[in-house]
Amino acid sequence: MNESNALRILNLPGNYLSGSLLDCWIHGQNLIYLNLRSNQLSGQIPKSIGHLINLNWLFLDYNNLSGEIPQSFQNCTSLIFLDLGNNSLSGSIPTWLGESLENLRGISLHHNAFKGNIPLQLCQLRDLSFLDFSFNSLSGPIPLCINNFFPMAEKEAEIVQEAFSIYRYDRLKSRMWKLGINYFLDKSMDLSHNMLSGEIPREVTTLIGLTHLNLSNNYLKGAIPCDIGVMKSLNSLDLSSNQLSGTIPSGISDVTYLEELNLSYNNLSGKVPSPNNFSAHAFIGNHNLCGPPLTKNCSANESLEKTECNSDRKSEGQNDGIQEKEHRHGFDPFKEKPSFYISVAIGFFTGFWGFWATLVFCKSWRHAYFCFLGNMGDKICVCVVVTTARLRRKFQRDQVVE
């Protein structure tokens, strides 16, 4: 087939396609856009999709697909957006998603049966702007390295302009970009309805470009990060149905564009920050919260609890602040440890052999050193004998006197 006439777009969403996906994708190497979402497809995803080496957009969501994500997907190194949501896929999230598909800007695996931890290798996807792992069975902590998702830490105009510049010289790819522009504009992270545990990492507050953050219905504990107020692009924030404690940071009132807030059903306490334009439903299920819009009035002590975040941050000391800044700028102290151990080993080797090498190769120094040791040994023996004799005589005199 003439390459100019080869199929590059296959867009069949919302039909009644059923049965298994045919395992014939070895012939679709020129395909850029594949959309089979909202059909009735079943069975496993065929391995031959790994031959679509030029594929940018893949939508297989809202079907009945099962099994694991084929390992052959790691050959699709041109993938920009991968949507396998709302199927019956299982297994763990592959580590190679972050290791091989470095061009990924969006991943959607919601409403499946994935389990295990969120792999740290995903943090290698530095261009990621959309992440949806909601409604699975993922466990373990939220990776601290999520601040590596640079587009989530940039303003909206910057990421959209940068994304469009990739395709502006290719009319077909430019069209594909326009079809998926909402995924670039909607910088979102949804990890809700899983079994994630641990604390909300402070690193999440560096993602100042996020418009939607949903961590609800997990087993997260600890305090809401005090810096939450710097995430001024947030349009919705849902931390409900966890085990969060402490006070609500006052900075949350500074999030100008926040239209949807849900902190319900946690163990939060103290006064609800003001001003706020949210209904009581955003805070219900926290029996120790008080102040408008809740009906419970605050006592004097509860009103003072709003300074808890500030006092906690001061008590952590200046060193902790320095470490956080270094981590945000890509400095990882754990990565520096090998060089520390190497320097210690070099110092020990130099000092040890610097001393013993002189004794091995210099006869006069060696003779003098061992004579010195011999004399010191003799002096110590004489001192011990003399001291012992004196103590014995003194003990005998004391007995005679008695």
pLDDT of residue 373: 67
- CA dist., res. 220 & res. 198, Å (int): 5
Which residues neighbour 373 within 8 Å (Cβ) at sequence distance 6 or greater? none
Q: Tokens for 85?
A: 């949501």
- CA dist., res. 7 & res. 318, Å (int): 59
- CA dist., res. 178 & res. 115, Å (int): 33
Find the helix or strand (DSSP H, E) in which 197 lies. Answer: strand 195-199
Q: Tokens for 309?
A: 């975040």
Task: Determine contact, residues 17/140, Cβ cutoff 8 Å.
Answer: no
pLDDT of residue 24: 86
Name residue, tokens 């006052």: 250
**Would you call 143 exposed, middle or buried from its count of C-beta atoms within 10 A (0-12, 13-18, 19+)?**
middle
Q: What is the CATH number of domain 3-335?
A: 3.80.10.10
Instruction: Tell me phi and psi for residue 90, to 5 degrees.
Output: -140, -170
pLDDT of residue 359: 60
Q: Indicate the DSSP class of residue 39.
A: S
- CA dist., res. 234 & res. 215, Å (int): 14
pLDDT of residue 247: 95
Q: Tokens for 281?
A: 């439903």
Q: Where are the alpha helices (DSSP H) in 121-229?
A: 156-165, 171-179, 181-185
Task: Determine contact, residues 234/254, Cβ cutoff 8 Å.
Answer: no
Q: What are the sequence ranges of the domains in the chain?
A: 3-335, 338-401
Question: Which is nearest to 188 in space by CA: 223, 229, 156?
Answer: 156
What is the pTM for the complete model shown?
Answer: 0.72
**Strand ranges in 45-155 using DSSP code E only, listed in sequence order:** 57-59, 64-67, 81-83, 88-92, 106-108, 113-116, 130-132, 137-140
- CA dist., res. 28 & res. 25, Å (int): 5
- CA dist., res. 334 & res. 114, Å (int): 30
- CA dist., res. 282 & res. 100, Å (int): 41
Instruction: Tell me phi and psi for residue 290, to 5 degrees.
Output: -150, 170
Per run of 10 residues, the mean pLDDT along the chain (length 402 residues) is 68 92 86 93 94 93 96 94 96 94 94 96 93 97 93 63 46 50 70 97 93 96 94 94 95 89 96 88 94 86 52 44 42 50 68 61 66 70 72 69 58
Radius of gyration of the chain (CA): 33
pLDDT of residue 75: 94
